[in-house]
Amino acid sequence: MKYIVSFIILCILLTGCSKEEVSKEMQQYQNILNQLKTESIKNKELPCHLEVSLEKSTSGELMYTVTLDEPKEEMYQVQAVFISLKEKENSYPSVGIFDDKLNMIPNQVNHKKNIVKGIVLVGYLNTSKTPKEYHDTFRLYLKYKTKDKKIKTIYYEKKI
């Protein structure tokens, strides 16, 4: 009987810890989304190349692919979220919040150290329009540490 009670208490403790950790990440994600939707954005120069492409998916939705690559400076522990201001139903693609933070360093790739050439985010838009017909405003949240360990946060807007 003691073993069963001990097992139940252990399960409750483990479950409680994981829920707390997930809710912290989810809270951070929600805060970022709120900032992206409400911030007045004045585009600054991005520390990397940004490309957005649209294509029709097999399920009939539009799929948008966001590529961040060709870093102009060393970017460590990258976090990014990319949203559509029109899309209200789907979740938005992110990196570094629910998964490992990546590093982008000019002319370097080392997967063991999470140094990547670029980052690709994919999202879906609930519309029947073709890529040529679709127009939207997208916003990017980008946070990273510099070589000097300074934290930079950039909000960027792209209209298509």
All structural domains of the chain: 37-159 (2.60.40)
What is the predicted pLDDT for the residue at 17?
46
pLDDT reported for residue 22:
57
In this prediction, residue 25 carries a pLDDT of 87
pLDDT at 20: 52
Other Cβ atoms within 10 Å of 95 Cβ, number: 21
Low-confidence ranges of the chain (pLDDT < 50): 1-19
Confirm if 100 and 139 have CB atoms less than 8 A apart.
no
Tokens 């790739």 sit at which residue? 109
Nearest-CA neighbor of 104 among 142, 130, 156, 133? 142
**pLDDT of amino acid 118:** 95
Contact 158, 150 (CB under 8 A): no
